[in-house]
């Protein structure tokens, strides 16, 4: 069903993995798409797949942690689409190591991409979402917004911060009819997890921790994102949807 027909949506980290899955799901629902990531070639491929579903899709290579790049991105997107209805902050990075081994540069790069990036995008684009009586901001949080894993201090800090940002922004934008929601996926079969997916012991350890006994599929999160963008989901704001196979329920 084309439940998002005519809506303009911007998705960061859209060149692969979860971002690509959400972009394709939004395209299937009829949304016009601004796709953002650092890799132009991969973005163009995703944009072509979205256009094949009969929607407008444009690739915007950009670094979401760069203030000037985000300002240019916002100007270009508004010039092309006129307004923005949906913003999905998905771009994120992770470095797995003990806290004593992080360089300050590594710490700051994770903070800048995972937390400052969503702030910059919201600051630049929220003015163009107001006054419509409708808007959706989805921040891709994590189970590590809620629980911790070893050797992930920087990632956990940024994802917990993003959840707090989501709640505060939801209260701020509620009078505008703009819903702000987090999605916290569990372990997904995406590129960011390839570093350990090929390790049989690590795979079995994670599977043993998930009550459903399986990893999530990016397409499942894509469908969830589409639902959260529909009119029927308008009352859902200031919260976080855990999609983790029961991992955090234990």
Using DSSP's 3-state secondary structure scheme, residue 31 falls into coil
The token pair at 175 is 């009078």
pLDDT tens-digit series, residues 18-30 = 999 999 999 999 9
Across residues 13-17, what is the average pLDDT? 96
155 is catalytic: yes
Confidence of residue 248 (pLDDT cuts 50, 70, 90): very high
Nearest to 28 by CA among 49, 11, 58, 59: 49
Query: Cα 194–196–197 angle (5° rounding)?
Result: 60
Question: DSSP letter string over 213-236?
Answer: -S-B-HHHHHHHHHHHHSGGGTT-
Q: pLDDT tier at 215 (50, 70, 90 boundaries)?
A: very high
CA–CA dist 215, 103 (Å, integer): 31
| pLDDT, mean of residues 219-226 | 98
Question: Residue 84 pLDDT more than 90?
Answer: yes
Out of 116-120, 142-146, 177-181, 204-208, pick the least confident: 204-208
Alpha carbon distance 242, 143 (integer Å): 7
Residue 189 pLDDT: 79
Question: What pLDDT is attached to residue 141?
Answer: 98
Alpha helix ranges (H) inside 82-116: 104-111
H or E segment and range at residue 35: strand 32-37
Q: Which two tokens stand for residue 132?
A: 């419509």
Token pair for 109:
């790069």
The fraction of the chain above a pLDDT of 70, given in percent, is 98
pLDDT band per the 50, 70, 90 thresholds, residue 157: very high
**pLDDT at residue 66 in the model:** 98
> Any idea which of 65-74, 96-105, 123-132, 200-209 has the lowest mean pLDDT?
200-209
Q: Is the pLDDT of residue 197 over 90?
A: no
Q: What is the pTM of this model?
A: 0.96
- Across 91-228, the runs of DSSP E, i.e. the strands, are 135-140, 178-185
Structural domains in the chain plus CATH codes: 8-242 (3.40.50.720)
Kindly name the residue from 60, 102, 134, 155 that is annotated as catalytic: 155
The answer to which of 105-109, 137-141, 172-176, 189-193 has the lowest mean pLDDT is 189-193
Average pLDDT, the chain: 95
Quickly state the pLDDT bin for 195 (edges 50, 70, 90).
low
């Amino acid at each position: 069903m084309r439940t998002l027909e005519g809506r303009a949506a911007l998705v960061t980290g859209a060149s692969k993995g979860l971002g690509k899955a959400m972009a394709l799901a939004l395209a299937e629902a009829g949304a016009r798409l601004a796709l953002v990531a650092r890799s132009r070639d991969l973005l163009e491929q995703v944009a072509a797949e979205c256009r094949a579903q009969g929607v407008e899709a444009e690739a915007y290579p950009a670094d979401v942690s760069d203030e000037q790049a985000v300002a240019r991105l916002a100007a270009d997107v508004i010039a092309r689409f006129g307004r923005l209805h949906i913003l999905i902050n998905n771009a994120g990075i992770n470095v797995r190591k003990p806290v004593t081994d992080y360089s300050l540069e590594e710490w700051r790069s994770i903070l800048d991409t995972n937390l400052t990036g969503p702030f910059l995008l919201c600051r630049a684009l929220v003015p163009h979402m107001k006054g419509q009586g409708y808007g959706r901001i989805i921040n891709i949080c994590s189970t590590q917004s809620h629980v911790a894993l070893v050797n992930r201090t920087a990632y956990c800090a940024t994802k917990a911060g993003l959840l707090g940002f989501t709640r505060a922004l939801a209260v701020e934008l509620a009078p505008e009819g703009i819903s702000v929601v987090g999605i916290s996926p569990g372990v997904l079969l995406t590129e960011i997890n390839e570093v350990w997916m090929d390790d049989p012991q690590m795979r079995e350890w994670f599977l043993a921790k998930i009550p459903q006994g399986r990893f999530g599929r990016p397409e499942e999160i894509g469908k969830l994102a589409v639902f959260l963008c529909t009119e029927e989901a308008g009352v859902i704001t200031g919260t976080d949807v855990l999609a983790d196979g029961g991992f955090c329920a234990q």
